[in-house]
Amino acid sequence: MALITLCSIKGAPGVTTTALAMTMTWPRPALLVEADSSGGSAIMAGLFRGQVSQERSLLSLTMAAAHSSVEEVLWSQCLQLPGAEGKTLLSAAPTFAQAQLTKRVWVELADVLTGLDRGGVDVIVDAGRYATTNAPLPLIERSDAVMVLTGAGLPALHAARGSVAHLQQHLETHATGADALALIVREGDYDAYARAQVVSTLRAPVLATLPQATNDAAVYSHGRRPDRRHDHSDYLRSVRRAGANARELIESRRARLTRPEEQYPTDREENSRV
């Protein structure tokens, strides 16, 4: 169905945790791609508690693809996410320097990922903090939806405004339109603005708000054992709502993008009616 990218803006942590929680609660088989160019896998250190070798990653995919193709080696470089059937991970390169090497496969990887929905697999990309110099732009440009995490306080909105506008312009120029971008707002800021003010300031719709829920988020960020109420927590309900709203956004955009253009009569046809 979809290729979805999540990214954050300065002052808005939590994109990896949100992307992981969304992947593990996704209603279809899903692949999470950790494409943060800063390097280092927060998921391998957190959810896997550093107990699993990182022999398979975006770096090993890059090395293997040099002698084959991304399509042929993709699944052999992925890990099964624990406790989530049909959910897999392509983890980030271990270091910053190694992450720079992976840029060479982004275009080919984007081509492969966009074709996975034909096999019933959706893709969620963790692009980390959005910065024009290091962002995985080929993945962002091919995304059906781009979800930007931000806080709702004045410092967060001030930091996000320019970057969101830049990303919208990039999507308008190099992808299928700025309306692919939507927001996920993290609650808990001291001077949080109302939802309508966030929409007005950043000129983008809000798909969902995430409550400040340290224990529930730690299930994904630190591998904390979930308690009995976790599946019904406000945090997980918000994550599921964000995913459901993203799917609705994608469906409405696809309907618009595939709608036949209105046919206007030619001059000859107009004259024949006179």
Q: Of how many residues is the chain composed? A: 274
CA end-to-end distance (rounded Å), the chain = 48
Kindly report whether the global pTM for this prediction surpasses the value 0.85.
yes
Q: Give the residue extent of every domain in the chain.
A: 3-255
Percent of the chain with pLDDT over 70: 93
**Cα–Cα dist 236/155, whole Å:** 26
**Cα–Cα dist 117/94, whole Å:** 28
User: 91 in the Ramachandran plot: left (φ > 0), alpha (ψ -120 to 50) or beta?
Assistant: beta
List pLDDT tens digits, range 197-237.
Answer: 999 999 999 999 999 999 999 999 999 999 999 999 999 99
Q: Superfamily assignment of 3-255 in CATH?
A: P-loop containing nucleotide triphosphate hydrolases (3.40.50.300)
Q: Mean of the pLDDT values across residues 135-162?
A: 94
Report the pLDDT value the prediction gives residue 261, as an integer from 0 to 100: 56
List pLDDT tens digits, range 61-88.
Answer: 999 999 999 999 999 999 999 989 999 9
Task: Of 184, 177, 126, 128, give the one whose Cα is nearest residue 156.
Answer: 184
Query: Does the pLDDT value for residue 265 go beyond 60?
Result: no
Query: Does the pLDDT value for residue 267 go beyond 80?
Result: no
Check: CB of residue 58 under 8 Å from CB of residue 65: no
Query: Does the pLDDT value for residue 126 go beyond 50?
Result: yes
Check: CB of residue 179 under 8 Å from CB of residue 253: yes
3-state secondary structure of 200: helix
Residue 247 contacts by C-beta under 8 Å, 6 or more apart in sequence?
1, 2
